[in-house]
C-alpha cells in the first residue's frame, strides 16, 4: 500500500541555540531536499518538530540531523504516515518551542525537570498498583478522545493554563505525580514548573504517551491519541477487542472518535460528531447548542449554519 511507504517522525530537544535563524534555514533546506512536510519550531531553547516523508527520506533526515552534536541523543518517535498528513512544510523561529509564557520565571528543562520514567517502568507501577497520580498536561479536547485510565484531566484550553492546573492539584504536592503529554515536550516544562511550585516527587513519561501506546497498545491508555496532523487521532490495533472508545459525540453523546470542524467557517469549532449526526445534517458539522461568537460579536443560530 502507498501508506506503508510513508512515516511520521515526532521529536524535540531542549538545547541552547545561539542562532535560531541559521538553524531554521538549514532545516528548511534539508526538509525541502528530502521532500518532507510538516511543522518545525525553533527557538533559542531548542527544536520541536513533526514531519512526514518516505521511510527512506525520514531515515536520511535523522542521519543528517545527528551529524550536528547539538541534536544527538534525541528520542525520535516514529509512526505510520498517510502521505498527506501535512499540507506543506512550515519552519518557524519563535521565543519558545512550547509556549508557557512565564517570562523571567520561565522553565529551562536543562536546569530543572521531572525524573524521566520509561514506559516499561510506568507499566510496572500500574501492575503493582503503586500509589501515584497521572496528570494529563494536554488540552481538554485531546483528553476527549483518549487518556490514561484514572488519570487527572485538568480542563486546559492551552498550555498557558499550566499555573491554573497547579491550583487544582495542590493537594498532591507531597504525592508521586507523573505528568504525561503526546511526545514529552510539554512535560519537560510542566514537570519542572511543578517542582518550582513545591511538588516534591515529580516524574514525566519518557517519550510521551505515543511511546507507551507503541509498547503497550490498548493497555491502560484508553481510546486514541490526538495528533496535530491530517490523521487527527491515532491508535495501535484499533480493531483489537481491548480497544475502548472513550470519545463521545458532542451532539448525541454516542461513542465516537470522529473529530470534525464546524461547517461554519466563522466558527470552525473542533469537536466530535458521530456519522449518524453528520448524516442527519446532510454531512454538515453543526455545533451542539449553536456556534461560538461570530466576528460581529453575536451568537450564530443553527438556522444560519444550515444556510452555509
Q: What is the H or E stretch that residue 116 is in? A: strand 115-117
For residue 179, the SS3 value is strand
The pairing of beta strand 46-54 with beta strand 37-43: antiparallel
User: Angle at Cα 30 formed by Cα 189 and Cα 226, nearest 5°?
Assistant: 40
Nearest to 77 by CA among 5, 7, 11: 11
Between the two ends of the chain, the Cα-to-Cα distance in Å is 37
Nearest to 106 by CA among 114, 95, 117: 95
CA 53/CA 30 separation, integer angstroms: 12
Encode 290-308 in three state secondary structure. CCCECCCCCECCHHHHHCC
Which entry of 181, 187, 267, 274 is annotated as an active-site residue? 181
Q: Which three cell numbers stand for residue 250?
A: 458532542
Nearest to 31 by CA among 79, 80, 92: 92
Cβ-based burial of 241 (10 A; exposed 0-12, middle 13-18, buried ≥19): exposed
Residues 6+ apart with CB under 8 A from 199: 172, 173, 177
Alpha helix ranges (H) inside 98-207:
119-127, 140-143, 162-168, 185-196
Residue indicated by cell numbers 453523546:
253
Q: Mark whether 252 is an active-site residue.
A: no
CA 281/CA 249 separation, integer angstroms: 14
Q: Which residues are catalytic?
A: 181
Amino acid at each position: 500500500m502507498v501508506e506503508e511507504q510513508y512515516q511520521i517522525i515526532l521529536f524535540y530537544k531542549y538545547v541552547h541555540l545561539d542562532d535560531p535563524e541559521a538553524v531554521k534555514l538549514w532545516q528548511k533546506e534539508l526538509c525541502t531536499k528530502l521532500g518532507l512536510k510538516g511543522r518545525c519550531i525553533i527557538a533559542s531553547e531548542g527544536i520541536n518538530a513533526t514531519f512526514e516523508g518516505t521511510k527512506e527520506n525520514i531515515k536520511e533526515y535523522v542521519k543528517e540531523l545527528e551529524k550536528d552534536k547539538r541534536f544527538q541523543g534525541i528520542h525520535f518517535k516514529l509512526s505510520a504516515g498517510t502521505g498527506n498528513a501535512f499540507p506543506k512544510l512550515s519552519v518557524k523561529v519563535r521565543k519558545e518551542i512550547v509556549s508557557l509564557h512565564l517570562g523571567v520565571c520561565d522553565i529551562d528543562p536543562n536546569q530543572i525537570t521531572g525524573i524521566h520514567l520509561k514506559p516499561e517502568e510506568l507499566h510496572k507501577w500500574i501492575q503493582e498498583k503503586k500509589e501515584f497520580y497521572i496528570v494529563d498536561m494536554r488540552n481538554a479536547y485531546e483528553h476527549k478522545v483518549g487518556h490514561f485510565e484514572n488519570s487527572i484531566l485538568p480542563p486546559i484550553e492551552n498550555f498557558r493554563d499550566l499555573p491554573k492546573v497547579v491550583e487544582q492539584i495542590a493537594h498532591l504536592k507531597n504525592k508521586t505525580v507523573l505528568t504525561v503529554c503526546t511526545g514529552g515536550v510539554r512535560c519537560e516544562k510542566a514537570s519542572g514548573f511543578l517542582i518550582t511550585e513545591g511538588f516534591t516527587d515529580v516524574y514525566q513519561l519518557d517519550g510521551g504517551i505515543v511511546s507507551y501506546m507503541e509498547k503497550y497498545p490498548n493497555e491502560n491508555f484508553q481510546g486514541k491519541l490526538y495528533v496535530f496532523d491530517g490523521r487527527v487521532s491515532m491508535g495501535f490495533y484499533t480493531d483489537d477487542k481491548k480497544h475502548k472508545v472513550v470519545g463521545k459525540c458532542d451532539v448525541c453523546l454516542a461513542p465516537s472518535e470522529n473529530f470534525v470542524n464546524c461547517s461554519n467557517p466563522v466558527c470552525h469549532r473542533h469537536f466530535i460528531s458521530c456519522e449518524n449526526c453528520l448524516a442527519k445534517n446532510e454531512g454538515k458539522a453543526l455545533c451542539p447548542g449553536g456556534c461560538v461568537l461570530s466576528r460581529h460579536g453575536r451568537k450564530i443560530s443553527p438556522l444560519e449554519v444550515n444556510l452555509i
